[in-house]
Structure formats: C-alpha cells, structure tokens
Structure 1
Amino acid sequence: MGLHNAGFHHRALIEVDPHAVQTLEYNTRKQHWENCEVLSWDLTDFDMGELEAKALKDGPLSLLAGGVPCPPFSVAGKQLGEEDERDLFPVMLDIAEVLKPRAVMIENVRGLLEPREKFADYRARIRARLEAMGYRILGWDVLEARDYGVPQLRPRSILVAMREPDASFFLPPRGVKQEVTVAQALKKSMLKRYKAASSRPREEVLRRYSEWLEKASRSIAPTLVGGSKKHGGADLGPTRAKRAWAELGVDAHGVADALGETKDEDRDLFGERGPKLTVAQAALIQGFPEDWEFKGRKTAAYRQVGNAFPPPVAQAVGESVIAALRAADAGAAAPAEQPEGLGPVW
C-alpha cells in the first residue's frame, strides 16, 4: 500500500499465507489496482521462470521490494540468521539477479543491523552479492515509524540498492514534526465501541472512555508483535510491551472482537486493565487507513497486522526511490529534499 501511494504500479504481489492472500486479493480489487496479480506462492519452492514471465511481461521493472521474514534476525527470537530456515534473503537476491530491476528495496527488523557485529559477515555477503550483480547499496539504515506519523515505536532496517551508475539515494525526511499518540489514532474508533456497549449505564460508559482517553494521550504505542507460525498468538506483544500498553489504558492480553460482533463486553471493553484493541484498531496503530480490510479469523487477521510494514514508512521510502530514479534519468544527483507532487511511476 505504501509503495502504491508513493506512485508505483504493482505487477505482482507474492504471499504464502492463505489469509494474507485473501486480504491482498480483496483490497487490490476494491481499490482497482489494475493488472496487479496476487501470487499464492511459497518462495522456498517456486518456478523462477514463471515469475520472470509474469514480472517482465510489460517490460523492465523499476523496483523489486519485499519484507523478508524477520524472525531470523529479531531480538525476540534466537537470532539464528542464515541458519534459520525462514531466512529468505538469498531467495530475494536470486529474484533480483533474474529480474534485474532498476532498484531493490528490502525491509527487515532492526536486529539485522544492531548489534553491528552479530550479522556483520552476513551483511557483507549481501552487499557483495548485490555489487556482483551491478547494484550499489545507496542506503541501509534504521528508520523509525513514529517519525512518519505512525503512532508506534517500530524501528525497521531498510536497504535500498540501485543499478543506475549515477543514482543517489537519500533516506526520506521525517514526515511529521510531532508524534501521533495512541489517543489521536484511536479516539474515534474507541468512542464508537463504547457508544455501542449495551451492558453498562451510559454514565459509566462515558467515564470509562474518558479514563482511557486520558491514559492513551500520553504517548505512542510499543511495537505490535504479530507472532509467527511457530510462536505467538493474538496478543499485542511480550511482557514488557504489555506493561507499556497498560500505561496507555489498553489490555494487551488478547484481541477484541470487531465492532458489532462483541460477545463479551466485560472481557473486550470493561476489563480491569482497560479495553482490548480490535484488529481494525491494531491496523490503525500500524498506519493503515480505515478502508483496508484484513481477511481471516481474528488471530489470523491480527497476525497479518502485527507483521506488517507500516504503509506511511513504505510510502516515504518509495517517494525517495522515485526521486532517485528520476534524477538518474535526468543525469543529475537526487535532490537534497523530497520534491512535491510526485506522479505515478510505471
């Protein structure tokens, strides 16, 4: 979504999770992404020739972008790196070698870059492989989602490489001067949930909402954690994150039923720790717009949200990539500041 908003036209989206495939198919149809194919593929076992035919059917690619699995590098896991069966960096580089896009963008967790020593050899091999293919890494750093209007502490490592000999890349500028709090992001949706409550007197409902609003106005959210197929369920994160959520008036021990589908208001809205978030509210914390819908049952839908790359950050990076590509086309270095009014790039 972020790259689409930046001006890129997607030819294909690859996803292995069946619920995420449904989400992509539904939203790309609803938002009329023309000629965008959703491929339900496992990148540990796929046909590279078929991918090449689909990706290059309308000519060369401007960008290959992806978020390779994070657990191999996450501090929340064992940080096995390339020894983890879920590491898809080699596959991403194989795809880049075959498709030869002008630019490559790879997103992952901060743990890949910090501590600097742990994966230094692996990063060096990634760099060497890209350089052998004719790419230069023009940016590989940690961006913080809260700097782009996302109401969440969510650092991510972003790698951008380009084949253009004269291209330069600059990290996108901060998109906001003031952070967006949890209250600012959720007050509208939370008020709807409280107003829909039927099990408590109106005075109590409004009091509980006011109490939540005061706490939620204090800060941004901790990092949402979606878990993986091996570990993690439908709650908002580990123990430390749950404590941070509690300070914001949110019960992070689970996910609430959707608005209009609540079966237990005492559990979802009036618990001692405060209200639980719905999947839709978690999506707002990730920077998704209200009209983007996640498919699957509650746990499957929340896992998609918790593992997502915030669209506003992707958009900022995408706009910077477009500026660098256009500057390369014009034979000039990328501008020091992001230009306004970028149009579509095909």
Structure 2
Amino acid sequence: MYSSIELFSGTGGLALGLQKSGFDHRALLEWDKDSCDNIKANIERGFPLVQNWNVIQTDVKLVHYDDFGEGIKLVAGGPPCQPFSLGGKHQAYNDKRDMFPEAVRAVRELKPQAFIFENVKGLLRKSFSTYFNYIILQLSHPEVTIKDGMTWLEHLKALEEYHTSVGDHGLSYNVVFRLVNAADYGVPQSRHRVIIVGFRNDLNANWSFPDATHSQDALRYSKWISGEYWEEHKIAKAKRPTISETERLRIRKATERGELLGRWQTVRDAFLGLSDPRKSQRNSKFENHEFRAGAKPYPGHSGSVMDEPSKTLKAGDHGVPGGENMIVLDDGSLRYYTVRESARLQTFPDEYVFHGSWTESMRQIGNAVPVQLANIIGSSVYHQLERLNEYEKQRHSGYKAV
C-alpha cells in the first residue's frame, strides 16, 4: 500500500474510496469537530476500513507536514467548495474559505508522486476561469510561491512566465482535470464534480481519466426496450410509466450502435433491501434509517424520482435544501431521504454509521465525495503509481547489474 495524506477529509467519503483502492492514510486532516467525531466513532465501532486512520482535528494552516515523515505518495482532498458552489456566494479568491493555497502548500512540502483534488462544477464557471487557471498553474509549479505584497494576478503572471520558460523547472507536476458525473461511474446520483489529478513530472506518467462504466442510454434501453429494469424491480406492467412510440424509436436508434455500458443506477436501485421507514423505523436492521416528517415541495425543489439517479445531494449554506434531499414516491407523495438512504446515494457502506442529528448527518453526507467515484479514480492513480515504481525498481536493478 502507498502512504497518503488527506486534507479537508470531512466525514470520509474520499478517504474510504482511496483506502479501498489501496492507499494507506498516514493522516486525515479536518477542522470540523463533528466530522472528525463521526470518523472516530466508526473507528471505535470497529469498522475495518478505518481502523488505522489517524484523524486530526486541526486548521490545515497550522500543519507542519514534516511531522508526518517521508515517502508520502499521494496528497488528496476536497478543498472547501463554498467559494465556487452554485449555491454559495461565488466569491472565490475573495473568500477566506478558499483553501486551494493550502492544498498547494501540502503538495510543495510533501512532494508526493501524485495528487487528487475534488471540487464542485462551479469551479469551471466562466467568471472564475482566470482564477481556475491560477489554481492549475500553482499546482503545476508549487515552488513558485507568492511573494509578500503580490496580488494573486501578479502571482498568476509570474506563474505564466515560469510555465512558458525553458530550463530546469524544479518540482513540477503534469496536471489534468475533468468535469465528471458520478452517475457515469455507478453512483446512483447525478453529481457533477471537477476532479484535478497531477503526477510529478519526473515520473513520465502516462495517465488519463478512467472511462465511464455506466450510461443513461443503457438505463433507457433497460426500461423502454428490453424492460429488464422493471422486471428486476418486479414492477407490474400496469404500473410502469409509458412513453410514446416516437421516443421508443429514438432510444432504440441511440442504443443500437454498439455494446452498452452498465446502466445508470437509480434511487430505486440504491434502496434495494431497505424497508419503508414510515412503517418500520423502530425495527429496521439498518442504522440511520429513521423517518423524518415535514417534506414539502417548493419552486425549484420538487424531489428526486425513483427510477432515475437522485438529484445532487447538497449540504446547504443554511440547513439542508429540501428538494435535493426529498424523494417522490410511486404514489406521488413526498418524504425526506433518511440518513441511510442518503448514505447509499453517496455509496457509503451500510456499516458506516452517522452519529449526529439528521441535519448534521445530511450536511456531512452532502459534502462528501461518493465512495464509489473516489475508488475508481483512486484505483486508476494507484495502478499508475505501481507501474511507475516497478519501472524504477527494474531500471535501478539494471544499473546495479551493469
């Protein structure tokens, strides 16, 4: 296993996915006490994936990375997204919660072979394009630091000049990014996130983002052409929704071009095995599966439907936005997701328990990286590092033989 450090770990979604992919977290850094307490509670419960985690509640600005020793292969994290979120105040570099400078510092001081950072799609908003370029250049050349008295635009200019110059570039990274939809990787939720991945440029990495494993076309085919989706869920023909023949023909044409991927996972898929919390909340074998009353629609927030991926779960600036955390049931009624249902939509294991109130647990879950997405990205990066490090071993052994 390769050692890693994770910043802004929240309640552990990214960390769980990376742990499953083979990384061993030397430390998880998070300032929010409730999130740290939740991870620690799962450690105390004996949840196996987190048993060796070193969870440190701290402000990352105060961290001395030389305390964690050498040999860190990966730095990962999800810098606070409120400065860039569509639901936030869009202040970016004017927002004190912008923690990308701290992500860059961690890379500069730890010099990992690779890094993975995640953020909201608002980071790619046109109005932020210059600042996003600034982030990428800082991660590409973390040793080109901002000088006292410099504005960020002056620093950007210095980075651009350095990036386009010739000669020895010191510690530098080859950085790529992509806007991905978690649904395309088997997460039962439409959740668009920016993933930034970098490899140290002395490694000669040859990496690209993993191909999608699931598709909307495959879901449509399984519903309206083969009918397998409805049969799998034992939905009687009389209760299935209908579409026009024109739409059916369009789907058939769109899906006849080649082999389909796995189908997008839906809310109904995610809830398999869970009982109706309104009827069995006291006897449920699943923790965090308690019914919460009071769900009501309002303009722009109408809940997610059963037979599509869920809308994006959100933490919310002022509590939980109702629409993103509600479900429209088969009879047309609305209710809130339970904490366990929300955790499944973020692909947390059922054994991973949330210990706060409903609102606090939903905040943590809404802020998390889906475990499945983190695992797929992490596994791809891990295998690339394995290849690179094996090549280095062989190269050095060849030198010794000579």
Structure 1: segments with no counterpart, 5+ residues: 199-214, 251-269, 333-346
Distance 1:148 1:322 in 2: 17
Aligned pairs, how many?
279
Is 1:65 aligned with 2:125?
Answer: no
Q: Percent same amino acid among aligned pairs?
A: 31
Assess if the C-alpha contact under 8 Å between 1:138 and 1:170 holds in 2: no
Amino acid at match of 1:105: I
Distance 1:163 1:96 in 2: 10
Please name the residue that 1:184 is paired with.
Answer: 269
Distance 1:294 1:167 in 2: 38
Assess if the C-alpha contact under 8 Å between 2:117 and 2:196 holds in 1: yes
| SS at structure 1 position matched to 2:59 | coil
Distance 2:372 2:389 in 1: 26
| Residue 132 of structure 2, aligned match among 112, 118, 123 | 123
Please name the residue that 1:233 is paired with.
Answer: 319
Assess if the C-alpha contact under 8 Å between 1:138 and 1:169 holds in 2: no
Structure 1 position 151, deviation (Å):
1.0
Please name the residue that 2:176 is paired with.
Answer: 139
Assess if the C-alpha contact under 8 Å between 2:266 and 2:307 holds in 1: yes
Amino acid at match of 2:66: E
Amino acid at match of 2:54: E
CA separation of 1:292/1:197 partners in 2, compared to 1, >3 Å: closer, same or farther? closer
| SS at structure 1 position matched to 2:379 | helix
After TM superposition, the structure 1 = structure 2 runs for residues 1-346 of structure 1, keeping only pairs within 5 Å, are: 1-29=16-44, 30-32=46-48, 33=50, 35-44=52-61, 46=62, 48-49=63-64, 51-53=65-67, 55-56=68-69, 59-113=70-124, 115=125, 117-133=126-142, 134-165=171-202, 166-176=204-214, 177-191=262-276, 193-196=278-281, 216-227=305-316, 231-237=317-323, 241=324, 245=326, 248-249=328-329, 273-331=333-391
Structure 1 position 185, deviation (Å):
0.8
Assess if the C-alpha contact under 8 Å between 1:283 and 1:305 holds in 2: yes
Structure 1 position 219, deviation (Å):
1.0
**Which digits, 9 at most, give the CA deviation of each residue in 1:269-291, with x for residues without a partner?**
x9x83332211111111111111
Assess if the C-alpha contact under 8 Å between 1:226 and 1:236 holds in 2: no
Distance 1:285 1:70 in 2: 20
Distance 1:160 1:61 in 2: 16
TM-score by length of 1: 0.74
Please name the residue that 2:9 is paired with.
Answer: none
Structure 1 position 100, deviation (Å):
1.2
| SS at structure 2 position matched to 1:305 | helix
| SS at structure 2 position matched to 1:9 | strand
> Considering only aligned residues, what root-mean-square deviation do their CA atoms show, in Å?
2.5
Assess if the C-alpha contact under 8 Å between 1:137 and 1:159 holds in 2: no
Structure 1 position 293, deviation (Å):
0.9
Distance 2:115 2:305 in 1: 38
| SS at structure 2 position matched to 1:306 | helix
Assess if the C-alpha contact under 8 Å between 2:320 and 2:363 holds in 1: yes
Assess if the C-alpha contact under 8 Å between 1:226 and 1:305 holds in 2: yes
| SS at structure 1 position matched to 2:198 | strand
Does 1 or 2 have the higher relative contact order (CA < 8 Å, sep 6+)? 1
Amino acid at match of 1:141: R
Assess if the C-alpha contact under 8 Å between 2:188 and 2:309 holds in 1: yes
TM-score by length of 2: 0.64
Amino acid at match of 2:89: K
Structure 1 position 157, deviation (Å):
0.2
Structure 1 position 34, deviation (Å):
5.1
Amino acid at match of 1:15: E
**Which digits, 9 at most, give the CA deviation of each residue in 1:44-101, with x for residues without a partner?**
4x1x32x421x22xx3111000001111111122211111111000011111111111
Amino acid at match of 2:313: L
Larger Rg: 2
Structure 2: segments with no counterpart, 5+ residues: 1-15, 143-170, 215-261, 284-303, 393-402
